[in-house]
Amino acid sequence: MNRRAACLTLLGLPSVRLLAQNQPDKPLNRPDGFRVYSDAPRLFLRPARLKLLRRERERRSLRWEQFEVLWTGNAPFDEPGWPAALRYQIAQDAAAGKKAIAWAAGPGADIRQIALVADWCAPLFAGTDQTRISAKLERSIKGAAPKTLPAARDRVLAAIAISETQPDLAEKVLTDFFDGFWTGFIASLRSAKAHVPNADASALIETMHALRDNINFDLRDTYPAWFRDYPLIHLMAHYPPPFPASENEYRIPADIQIDKRGPDLNKAVLSRAAELAMVAFDANASETQLLQGFLMNDRFVMRGTAGIAHELLWANPYQPGLSYYHVPLAQHDSIGGQLFVRSSWEDDASWIGFFDDQLQLFANGSVTRVDPTLAHEPMDIEEAAVFFGRDAKKFNVPRHKAEAPPADEPVQALPPGATPPPEPGVDVFIVGLEPLKPYHVEIDNEEMFEQSADPGGIVFLPAVPPGAGVRLALRPVT
């Protein structure tokens, strides 16, 4: 049995969380049908969630109170349509609902918002409101096929919003979404040609909610391994230090575009909205319970006009969570060829991210892009050591310093003749290799074995003895 196989039989021991390997392509699980038979409101506000939101208003909860302050103060919401419609549904505030309808029937052009207004505020339609709003939604779903997750999400929401008056058209649009966009999207995930950036995850999770609520189909069934592990990959794909904005602190999602002017807070809003919606989608999974622990800290509650409606819609502060300190500090996504490593869960931690063929290092308050094909010293941030393919033909694994015991804790001497316990193994990642190519690996005092790089060109060697020599070579073509 080689080292990798041995490690996989001891799932609880490695500090690295090794995510599922690529699976062979196979036909997707398919919904029984795409006809919408649910009652309004159909989008997101299913009876249990609407009941929770109305209780939040009665309890004068933190999120409702902040939403109320902004609303009564006439604060200009970044998205003017759907927060007004949400207020109508929660507080039965007809004036807010009519304001949402006026925006959707008039200047509104954001299809996601228009669909939510059409679904949530239909009882208040008067005159030509329904005709004008439905015309916008129908035009949007008759356009070119969507190529991005947000565009596909908008088309799904629009179809469901008109499903009562245009059931055949809605059914066709949802069928085309699954057979066209979604089938291609899953194929791209399987081949590691597509990833889901944190800012796009909100569109993904909203689509999942809409289809489960209305055609009783869980999109996770089309690729269970990827969806099972995505919440923790999403969690790790943030730079360590929070960003102190005027209204609250934000966790900043990792981004292939490094902007020296500062983080994009719109992406931070959408990333947190996705996390809240993930927990709402499946509150019982261990991965989302860890995510809930990551979310439920009042300093990160979005209090501004860009985020408060997302907070109010999706957050459930009564849902118990697990401490994210239990999440392993190294996450290897072998499906997508990605790697994220932190030195600790403290705000001043170092962080390494390898995603979308880009290697980044966050240390000393700033993020830098590193070319993994050039000569570099290995990155060693205690939790794992990252080597570069060009320089990893032969190397020695670093020794990590043992953590000193607390000053008030007595040091226990070993009994005479006792052998000191072995140093813990070091998890080693080699990046910048040729994707999916087989490599011969030889570690001191062990037999040579073969290991293939993942779709991103990463080889993972778990628990390598500290100080051991490692030799790596591309397997010759025979």
The residues that bridge with 249 in the sheet, in sequence order, are 244
Tokens of residue 44, six digits: 């997101």
User: Is residue 193 classed exposed, middle or buried when 0-12, 13-18 and 19+ CB atoms within 10 A define those classes?
Assistant: exposed
Return d(Cα 270, Cα 199) in angstroms, integer. 5
The one-letter code for the residue type at 429 is F
Tokens of residue 39, six digits: 């009652």
- pLDDT > 90 fraction of the chain, expressed in percent and rounded: 73
Q: In the predicted model, what is the mean pLDDT of residues 468-475? A: 91
Helices (H) and strands (E) in the chain, counts: 15, 16
Q: How do strand 249-250 and strand 243-244 relate by DSSP bridges?
A: antiparallel
The reported pLDDT for the residue numbered 345 is 93
User: Is residue 414 classed exposed, middle or buried when 0-12, 13-18 and 19+ CB atoms within 10 A define those classes?
Assistant: exposed
Query: Could you give phi then psi for residue 193, rounded to 5 degrees?
Result: -90, -10
Buried b (16+ CB within 10 A) or exposed e, 142-174: eeeebeebbbbbbbbbbbbbbbeebeebbbebb
The reported pLDDT for the residue numbered 401 is 52
The residues that bridge with 144 in the sheet, in sequence order, are none
Q: What 8-state DSSP symbol labels residue 9?
A: T
Q: Which of 248-253's residues contact partners 24+ apart within 8 Å by CB, and which partners?
A: 248/299, 248/300, 248/301, 248/302, 248/303, 248/304, 248/307, 249/299, 249/300, 250/300, 250/302, 251/300, 253/197, 253/198, 253/199
Peptide linkage before 253 cis (omega within 30 of 0): no
Q: What 8-state DSSP symbol labels residue 253?
A: B
Q: In the predicted model, what is the mean pLDDT of residues 195-204? A: 94
The answer to whether residues 252 and 240 touch, using CB atoms and an 8 Å cutoff, is no
Dihedral sign, Cα of residue 362, residue 366, residue 369, residue 370: negative
Q: How do strand 366-370 and strand 385-388 relate by DSSP bridges?
A: unpaired
The reply to whether 3-18+368-402+421-474 and 47-325 are identical in fold is no
C-beta neighbour count of 200 within 10 angstroms: 17
Task: Give residue-wise pLDDT tens across range 33-89.
Answer: 999 999 999 999 999 999 999 999 999 999 999 999 999 999 999 999 999 999 999
Under the banding of pLDDT at 50, 70 and 90, the label for residue 380 is confident
The answer to whether residues 388 and 376 touch, using CB atoms and an 8 Å cutoff, is yes
- pLDDT > 70 fraction of the chain, expressed in percent and rounded: 88
Dihedral sign, Cα of residue 388, residue 394, residue 395, residue 396: positive
The answer to whether residues 431 and 387 touch, using CB atoms and an 8 Å cutoff, is yes
Tokens of residue 152, six digits: 């596909």
Q: In the predicted model, what is the mean pLDDT of residues 279-302? A: 94
Dihedral sign, Cα of residue 123, residue 127, residue 132, residue 134: positive
The reported pLDDT for the residue numbered 394 is 87
Query: Could you give phi then psi for residue 75, rounded to 5 degrees?
Result: -65, 140
Q: What is the CA radius of gyration of the chain?
A: 25
C-beta neighbour count of 438 within 10 angstroms: 15
- The residues spanned by each domain of the chain are 3-18+368-402+421-474, 47-325
CA 224 vs. chain centroid, Å, equals: 15
The answer to whether residues 120 and 43 touch, using CB atoms and an 8 Å cutoff, is yes
The one-letter code for the residue type at 294 is F
What lies within 8 Å, CB to CB, of 226 at 6+ separation is 20, 189, 335, 336
Could you tell me which CATH number the domain at 47-325 has?
Answer: 1.50.10
Under the banding of pLDDT at 50, 70 and 90, the label for residue 15 is very low
The one-letter code for the residue type at 186 is I
Place of tokens 């103060």: 73
C-beta neighbour count of 316 within 10 angstroms: 18
Q: In the predicted model, what is the mean pLDDT of residues 175-183? A: 97
Peptide linkage before 150 cis (omega within 30 of 0): no
The reported pLDDT for the residue numbered 437 is 93
Return d(Cα 91, Cα 312) in angstroms, integer. 13
Query: In 3D, which of 315, 415, 402, 396 has the Cα closest to residue 86?
Result: 315
C-beta neighbour count of 346 within 10 angstroms: 9
Q: In the predicted model, what is the mean pLDDT of residues 395-415? A: 63
Place of tokens 């390997």: 21
The reported pLDDT for the residue numbered 379 is 82
Return d(Cα 465, Cα 441) in angstroms, integer. 14
Return d(Cα 346, Cα 334) in angstroms, integer. 26
Return d(Cα 134, Cα 218) in angstroms, integer. 27
The one-letter code for the residue type at 411 is V
Q: Does domain 3-18+368-402+421-474 have CATH number 1.10.287?
A: no
The reported pLDDT for the residue numbered 402 is 46
The reported pLDDT for the residue numbered 25 is 55
Query: In 3D, which of 159, 215, 211, 213 has the Cα closest to residue 182?
Result: 211
* pLDDT, averaged across the chain: 89
The reported pLDDT for the residue numbered 2 is 40
